[in-house]
Structure 1
Amino acid sequence: MTIKVATAPDSWGVWYPKDEKQVGWERYLDEVQKAGYGWTELGPWGYLPTDPETLLSELGRRDIRLCGTGVVHPLSLADSDETLAARVGPICALLKAAGAEWFVLMDESESYAAPGDRLLDDQAWAKMIANVRATAKRVVEEYGMKFVFHPHVGTCIETEAEIERLLADTLPEHVGLCFDLGHHIYTGADPLAFMARHADRIPYYHFKNMDGALRKRITDENIPFMDAFQMGVMCELDKGVIDFAEVVKFLEARNYDGFAVVEQDMYPCPPEKPFPIAKHNRDYLRTLGL
């Protein structure tokens, strides 16, 4: 078993290429190094340098490597296949130049004006799935990389039933899951039970936990998920309802060989907030042998 612990700009409150509410990329990389992470995802395209030479230089002098990137794209819009296809080439070229393997695709929650809009009818679902299939096939066969889909609260693939449908409608050799434990439990599902059923389709994990008491308040008061994230519903790995000792034990039993990317949704946040949390999470995982 080799679990490689990584982090992502998301854990520093970075959701956009440029935003005055976010820390700059130099500070991000400095703090990733200080917190003890040796791997990072790329984050939003344009946040970290997209010139391969510059990116490799900045990562290398901090002894950090790139594991992959999360690509957030509105998958249910009429032109989503064309707009996503235009993004794949430059992203994969940069990842390959940096020695990274993982292309993580996620739907864009901001493309839905109202919560119910994310529920696709059969025709829209078929179009979305066709786009996922085509993108995955291209990433895997043309670029020789690995493709995973990231279910996410507020998107067209959020619930366990929707994830099951995605798995049934895609080829295992092309499409795996980026399994985000925090988002899964946020929907009321059991992450460990799902992992037990579908471990063979999960080659990539996002480690995230959830504050159960705060989640109950969010449910009781019907608070939107974006507000919930800002309130801190996604909490430190050792302070939520998921027992990560059990998660690690499960992965050890499966002889899992891959990445565990630590994330903590907290956009927007004060610039001094992310580092101590990220370091705490890294230190905690060390107590579990990672």
Structure 2
Amino acid sequence: MLIEGQSPLSDGGAGAKSQRIQDIIFIKTTWLCAMLVMVVLLGVFLSLFIDSMPTWREFGLSFIWNERWSPAKDIYGAAAPIFGTLVTSVIALVIGVPISFGIAIFLNEICPMPLRRPIGVAIELLAGIPSIIYGLWGFFVLAPIMQTTVQPFLLDTLGHVPGLDILFSGAPYGIGLLTAGIVLAIMILPFITSITRDVFSTVPVLLRESAYGMGMTTWEVVFNIIIPYTRRGLIGGIMLGLGRALGETMAVTFVIGNSHRIAASLLAPATTISASIANEFSEATSDLYSSSLIALGLILFFITFGVLAIAKWLIGRSETY
């Protein structure tokens, strides 16, 4: 109903103007949120870079590939923590990714319906366990098993195989790179499994039924239909697990041995960037010591950034196929 003297278009004009204002506010708000992320990221980088400058001035880029770490003489090198971080993450992926894929395939394609939800919930509950609990379990349960059973078996078998003997040599300490990698594999398993299950569920039912109708087995459907169709999501899940493995601190600290040296054997004690920072930051009495630990954090920042860049590149490549 129009009020006397009111234009029929006046309400519509006021409503359109209000909508435009709301739209502008919405766009500016989302833009600010996006910029806030960039500001925080830049702030973290600048903070790490400025605080690590004494280390770069003292050692230069040789800090990255120098292995020696001697707080008593104020000599520091990042090679051992970088090596430990990368090796334990690779071990975690080698162990965790196939198991995660196997669980996801079983739950989506083979598992009876009444069991899917309980098993799925049990897997997802692993993600809610604090990392320190994994560390304690690894130290008090897994490490003794590794020391008395697994590592002696590896030394007696693979330790005598030419080419593999260098990877499985030394004393069975129980702790070390392999133990830390196994703990990390268990920790990343629920993340990769959850994402893998979700992306497997996006495969159209018609595509599955057509494949089965053509006489394909479950194996053929999974490896010829489901995995190629969902490869982008699978890459994302793997990279999420890798990111978790690279930055894990407490669980690794308990079981890696915290030794600043590079050893070819997977059974040898080692250290990671995050474990080194957690263990030694409170003991850093000199400015150069603190700066070196912060420089380790800066290196981990770049490693994580590089992993994300590689993930985006792989996903971009998968879109072209």
* TM-score between both structures, scaled by the size of structure 2: 0.22
Q: Which has the higher strand share?
A: 1
Q: Which has the higher helix share?
A: 2
